[in-house]
């Protein structure tokens, strides 16, 4: 599915007539995102059903620490802004601007994934919340793990585009390549904006 | 269209062997044919399973197969017919005809399309491979957890099911993205949404259902896989797992799935009836809106599969009413089909026979469906053969009749030969008789109390004669497909060459040669009305347009063939099979999974950087 959007060298914009005023690859990414909404909706609902299932082992209040996750949230939010700036650079043909903001975006992605790896390790080793300890743990790790995988895929994708940009392969005519990746990146960000309050804050405030 | 001389695609096309050509093709027509051929083989396998089931049930206290093998048979029969037969046969029509009907040269993402095909074929082979290990899935096509968890379903049987369905789901989702985009964005100039052929509308709505329902089953399957393989307890009751979770997730997908199976059938029949009644589809926009309404309601009725779980009067009433509501748009469609036939000059060709059979059989299935919507009545019928009768009337009487109608209707366009009319009509009558003989008695045997999924029954309960009738009917039904197969072989060897427009069609596919050339349309068509070909004929004052010439196609841009879709599919299959083989509770993935992941990732990168433009080979 992401392969469609990774189609870096598909037809040049404008070479083909499209019925809607949107390039096919961009439309496809929107469609994919709609489908992904159902994917995450199912994962989030399951977590909500199971967050109190921790008769055995620690529960949300025993493990969740707000500061680190808030930092991760902020980083992800900022990265959405960064990628917009990078896209702006690509569209203007400003290679320096593109490289600067795109590398910042990739850094944010790496930081977020790193934060999650640290968080998971911390929960498992110090809080003794294994993957199968209880249903709260399983549904939490599965939901945030799948989100983290999406961030990792996005980071890899943006890093690939960064390499392309470095070699000067993203002229304004090919800014669409970055625009589609940015669309995906915003979506992954929005999912986290839902996960952060629903999973962390609401579980703590109960 | 830019023409850069002697590009990769053109230069190497001549050297490619036939096998390589088909393995690397990105042509939607070849992909469609491969979908159809593989799905037809799976359909025959599923049919064979049904015949063994019917032989086992032929008389009371029969012991032809063991109870466990019987479980494998009905599980694989359902799984095969839904995911490996009806869906991919529909996909054959999507692939071959959506671009032709909207006047496009290919789908929006030809390589992604090839990937959908290969993932589907590999997933289907993987599921059926389980038979060779004597470990075919045995927990029903709905795989109810916790019955399908490792505690109650040890062995690899349900692993095959869990992994196989995830594989197939990815194929469907990729195709969903592709066809949704294709239909919205690749229409010929002038073809507004409300000028699209009704089949294209049906495909569009079907893709919306796929895109929104398949992620839900994917997550459910992932949970089940995690439970079985990594030791989680999503469906484990002793660890506080919710006993209803699987059922809800499964049917949130499962009910839209029945529309995924029937909407393409609606579309095909809605194309055929006007052509053979010689008048436009009655109530086109009502047909479009009723399909959209069915799809919308289809997401709000899933719990009618769960009345017996005791959800309480409020939920029961809501899901009862919502389900009954669906009868309204469905009724609109049936009246419009009848309205299309009314006063038409009917041409009694084989496709019309099957389309009429579809309407009659589907109405019967729809009526028993409304009976199920009444929760108290459903409590009597649930898990009985009455339900089996119902869904075979809508799935076989509905989907398969319509898909067969589509096969006879579009065969000349796909292969350039007309199927034999006499054999076609024989096929129809034997199929109609066999179908009703098989499934009509199941209504009675169900109301008498015979439960589904039992491998044997004692004599003297009044089941004996009715079951014998069903078995005779099943063999009659099976033989109708022997007639069809004979028709295919005979046509292949010596059929009449089909003209471009054998039926006086209304849509764009009949304006080009049969079979179409690789680029479909030598000149991209411009559309100014619904039923564009009828408009052209009216304007020219002729009944049949002159036979379109086969042209050289020099200078037409077509996507180049590619190995990467196949390679990515193999990598993806390897990744998931690795999870199944690993089987230990340690979390990290095993070496097979890692290899599969590496192949997938490598394939995606090569794919992304592969130049896509090639040339049409001159013929
Ligand atoms: Cu249903």
The answer to whether the beta carbons of residues A185 and A86 sit under 8 Å apart is no
Most confident of the ranges B367-371, B399-403, B554-558: B399-403
Q: Is the predicted pLDDT of residue A15 greater than 60, yes or no?
A: no
pLDDT number for residue B214: 97
Put simply, the answer to whether B245 touches A53 (Cβ < 8 Å) is: no
Q: Is the predicted pLDDT of residue B466 greater than 80, yes or no?
A: yes
Q: How far is the CA of B509 from the centre of ligand 1 (A)?
A: 35
**How many C-beta atoms lie closer than 10 Å to residue B526's C-beta?**
11
pLDDT number for residue A16: 62
Task: Report DSSP state, residue B307.
Answer: G
| Helices B87-102/B28-56 angle, 10° precision | 150
Q: Which residues contact B265 (CB under 8 A, 6 or more apart)?
A: B90, B358, B398, B399, B401, B402, B403
Q: Is the predicted pLDDT of residue A178 greater than 90, yes or no?
A: yes
Q: Which of A152-161, B133-142, B506-515, B585-594 shows the lowest mean pLDDT across its residues? A: B585-594
For B601, nearest residue in chain A (alpha carbons): A3
Q: Is the predicted pLDDT of residue B4 greater than 70, yes or no?
A: no
Q: Nearest by CB to A31, which of B111, B180, B215?
A: B180
**A121 close to B (CB below 8 A):** no
Cα–Cα distance list, A16 to A19, A97, B125, B180, B192 (Å): 10, 30, 37, 17, 18
| Helices B67-79/B157-185 angle, 10° precision | 10
pLDDT number for residue B584: 53
Q: Given the structure tokens 């929006």, which residue do they identify?
A: B108
What value of ipTM does the predicted structure carry? 0.93
Q: Which residues contact B312 (CB under 8 A, 6 or more apart)?
A: none
Which of the four pLDDT bands, split at 50, 70 and 90, describes residue B449? very high
Mean pLDDT, residues A9-29: 72
Q: What is the mean pLDDT of chain B?
A: 92
The encoded tokens of residue A34 equal 């709609």
Mean pLDDT, residues B514-541: 92
Put simply, the answer to whether B109 touches A4 (Cβ < 8 Å) is: yes
Q: Is the predicted pLDDT of residue B616 greater than 80, yes or no?
A: no
Alpha carbons A51 and A62: distance in angstroms, whole number: 12
Put simply, the answer to whether A132 touches B604 (Cβ < 8 Å) is: no
Which domains, and CATH codes, for chain B? 27-558 (1.20.210.10)
**A3 close to B (CB below 8 A):** yes
The answer to whether the beta carbons of residues B111 and B612 sit under 8 Å apart is yes
Q: Is the predicted pLDDT of residue B255 greater than 50, yes or no?
A: yes
Kindly list the residues from chain B whose CB atom is less than 8 angstroms away from the CB atom of residue A42: 215-216, 219-220, 249
**A142 close to B (CB below 8 A):** yes
Put simply, the answer to whether A31 touches B215 (Cβ < 8 Å) is: no
Which of the four pLDDT bands, split at 50, 70 and 90, describes residue B8? very low
Q: Nearest by CB to B181, which of A9, A27, A50?
A: A27
pLDDT digit string, tens, across residues B227-246: 998 889 999 998 889 989 99
Mean pLDDT, residues B337-358: 96
pLDDT number for residue B587: 55
pLDDT number for residue B583: 59
3-state secondary structure B81-114: HHHHHHHHHHHHHHHHHHHHHHCCCCCCCHHHHH
Mean pLDDT, residues B99-124: 96
Kindly list the residues from chain A whose CB atom is less than 8 angstroms away from the CB atom of residue B524: 17
B14 dihedral zone (left: phi>0; alpha: psi -120 to 50; beta)? alpha
**A85 close to B (CB below 8 A):** no
Measured in angstroms, the CA of B486 and the nearest CA of chain A are apart by 39
Q: How far is the CA of B406 from the centre of ligand 1 (A)?
A: 25
Put simply, the answer to whether A7 touches B191 (Cβ < 8 Å) is: no
The encoded tokens of residue B408 equal 């006879």
Chain B interface disruption, residue of A21, A33, A38, A50, most B CBs within 10 A: A38
Select from B94, B30, B170, B75 the least CA-distant residue to B453.
B75
The residues pairing with B614 across neighbouring beta strands, listed in sequence order, are B558
Q: What is the mean pLDDT of chain A?
A: 90
Mean pLDDT, residues A132-145: 95
The answer to whether the beta carbons of residues B168 and B116 sit under 8 Å apart is no
Round the CA-based radius of gyration of chain A to a whole number and report it. 19
Kindly list the residues from chain B whose CB atom is less than 8 angstroms away from the CB atom of residue A184: none
pLDDT digit string, tens, across residues B155-208: 899 999 999 999 999 999 999 999 999 999 999 999 999 999 999 999 999 999
pLDDT number for residue B611: 80
The encoded tokens of residue A168 equal 């000067």
For B182, nearest residue in chain A (alpha carbons): A24
For A32, nearest residue in chain B (alpha carbons): B177
Mean pLDDT, residues A120-136: 94
Q: How far is the CA of B383 from the centre of ligand 1 (A)?
A: 14
Mean pLDDT, residues B377-397: 95
Measured in angstroms, the CA of A88 and the nearest CA of chain B are apart by 23
Put simply, the answer to whether A39 touches B191 (Cβ < 8 Å) is: no
Put simply, the answer to whether A46 touches B185 (Cβ < 8 Å) is: no
Which residue pairs, CB below 8 angstroms and at least 24 apart, start in B532-538?
Answer: B532/B195, B532/B506, B532/B507, B532/B508, B533/B501, B533/B505, B533/B506, B533/B507, B533/B508, B534/B280, B534/B506, B536/B511, B537/B504
Measured in angstroms, the CA of B85 and the nearest CA of chain A are apart by 23
The encoded tokens of residue B108 equal 């929006």
Q: Is the predicted pLDDT of residue B566 greater than 80, yes or no?
A: yes
Q: How far is the CA of B255 from the centre of ligand 1 (A)?
A: 4
pLDDT number for residue B125: 97
Among positive and negative, which fits the CA dihedral B476, B477, B480, B482?
negative
pLDDT number for residue B551: 86
Half-sphere exposure of B184 toward its Cβ, with a 13 Å CA cutoff?
Answer: 20
pLDDT number for residue B72: 96
pLDDT number for residue B589: 75
Q: Is the predicted pLDDT of residue A132 greater than 60, yes or no?
A: yes
H or E stretch including B435?
Answer: helix B421-447
Which domains, and CATH codes, for chain A? 22-204 (1.20.120.80)
Q: How far is the CA of B251 from the centre of ligand 1 (A)?
A: 7
Kindly list the residues from chain A whose CB atom is less than 8 angstroms away from the CB atom of residue B115: 3
Q: Nearest by CB to B185, which of A7, A27, A135?
A: A27
pLDDT digit string, tens, across residues B26-73: 999 999 999 999 999 999 999 999 999 999 999 999 999 999 999 999
């Amino acid at each position: 599915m992401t392969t469609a959007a990774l189609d870096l060298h598909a037809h040049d914009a404008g070479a083909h007539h499209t019925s809607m005023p949107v390039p096919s690859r961009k439309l496809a990414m929107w469609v994919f995102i709609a489908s992904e909404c159902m994917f995450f909706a199912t994962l989030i609902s399951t977590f909500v059903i199971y967050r109190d299932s921790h008769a055995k082992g620690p529960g949300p209040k025993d493990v969740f620490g707000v500061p680190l996750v808030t930092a991760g949230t902020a980083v992800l939010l900022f990265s959405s802004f960064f990628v917009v700036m990078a896209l702006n650079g690509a569209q203007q043909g400003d290679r320096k601007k593109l490289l600067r903001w795109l590398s910042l975006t990739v850094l944010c992605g790496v930081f977020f994934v790193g934060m999650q790896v640290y968080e998971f390790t911390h929960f498992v080793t110090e809080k003794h919340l294994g993957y199968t300890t209880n249903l709260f743990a399983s549904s939490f790790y599965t939901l945030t793990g799948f989100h983290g995988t999406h961030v990792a895929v996005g980071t890899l994708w943006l890093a690939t585009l960064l390499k392309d940009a470095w070699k000067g392969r993203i002229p304004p005519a090919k800014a669409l390549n970055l625009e589609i990746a940015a669309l995906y990146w915003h979506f992954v960000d929005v999912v986290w904006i839902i996960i952060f309050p629903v999973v962390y804050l609401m579980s703590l405030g109960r | 269209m830019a023409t850069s001389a002697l590009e990769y695609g053109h230069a190497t096309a001549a050297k490619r062997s036939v096998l390589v050509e088909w393995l690397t093709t990105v042509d939607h027509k070849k992909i469609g044919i491969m979908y159809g051929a593989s799905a037809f083989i799976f359909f025959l396998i599923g049919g064979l399973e049904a015949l063994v089931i019917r032989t086992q049930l032929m008389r009371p206290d029969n012991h032809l197969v063991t109870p466990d093998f019987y479980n494998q048979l009905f599980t694989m029969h359902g799984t095969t017919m839904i995911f490996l037969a009806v869906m991919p046969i529909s996909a054959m029509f999507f692939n071959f005809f959506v671009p032709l009907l909207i006047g496009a040269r290919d789908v929006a993402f030809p390589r992604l399309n090839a990937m959908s095909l290969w993932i589907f074929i590999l997933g289907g082979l993987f599921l059926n491979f389980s038979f060779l290990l004597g470990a075919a899935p045995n927990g029903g096509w709905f795989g109810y957890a916790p019955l399908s968890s490792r505690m109650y379903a040890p062995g690899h049987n349900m692993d095959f099911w869990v992994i196989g369905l995830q594989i197939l789901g990815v194929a469907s989702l990729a195709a969903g993205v592709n066809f949704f985009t294709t239909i919205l964005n690749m229409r010929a100039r002038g073809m507004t949404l409300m000028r699209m052929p009704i089949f294209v509308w049906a495909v569009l709505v079907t893709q919306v259902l796929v895109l929104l329902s398949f992620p839900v089953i994917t997550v459910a399957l992932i949970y089940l896989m995690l439970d079985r393989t990594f030791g989680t307890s999503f469906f484990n009751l002793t660890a506080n797992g919710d006993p209803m979770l699987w059922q809800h997730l499964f049917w949130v997908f499962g009910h839209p799935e029945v529309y995924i199976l029937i909407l393409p059938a609606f579309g095909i029949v809605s194309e055929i009836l006007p052509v053979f009644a010689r008048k436009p589809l009655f109530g086109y926009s009502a047909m479009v809106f009723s399909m959209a309404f069915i799809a919308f309601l289809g997401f709000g009725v899933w719990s009618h599969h769960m009345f017996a779980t005791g959800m309480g009067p409020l939920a029961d009433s809501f899901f009862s009413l919502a389900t009954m509501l669906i009868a309204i748009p469905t009724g609109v469609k049936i009246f419009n089909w009848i309205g299309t036939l009314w006063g038409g000059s009917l041409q009694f060709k084989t496709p019309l026979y099957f389309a009429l059979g579809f309407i009659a059989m589907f109405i019967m299935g729809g009526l028993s469906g409304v009976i199920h919507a009444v929760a108290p009545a459903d409590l009597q019928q649930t898990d009985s053969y009455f339900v089996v009768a119902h869904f075979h009337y809508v799935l076989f009487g509905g989907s398969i009749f319509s898909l067969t109608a589509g096969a006879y209707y579009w065969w000349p366009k796909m292969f350039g030969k007309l199927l034999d009319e006499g054999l076609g009509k024989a096929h129809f009558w034997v199929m109609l008789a066999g179908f009703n003989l098989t499934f009509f008695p199941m209504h009675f045997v169900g109301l008498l109390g015979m439960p589904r999924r039992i491998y044997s029954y004692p004599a003297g309960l009044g089941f004996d004669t009715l079951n014998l009738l069903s078995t005779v009917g099943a063999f009659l039904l099976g033989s109708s497909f022997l007639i069809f197969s004979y028709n295919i072989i005979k046509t292949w060897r010596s059929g009449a060459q089909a003209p471009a427009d054998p039926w006086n069609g209304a849509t764009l596919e009949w304006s080009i040669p049969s079979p179409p050339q690789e680029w479909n349309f030598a000149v991209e068509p411009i559309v100014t009305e619904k039923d564009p070909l009828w408009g052209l004929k009216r304007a020219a004052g002729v009944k049949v347009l002159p036979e379109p010439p086969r042209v050289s196609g020099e200078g037409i841009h077509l996507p180049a063939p590619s190995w990467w879709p196949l390679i990515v599919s193999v990598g993806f299959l390897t990744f998931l099979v690795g999870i199944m083989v690993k089987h230990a509770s340690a979390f990290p993935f095993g070496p097979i999974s890692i290899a599969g992941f590496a192949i997938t990732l490598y394939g995606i990168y090569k794919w992304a950087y592969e130049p896509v433009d090639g040339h049409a080979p001159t013929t």
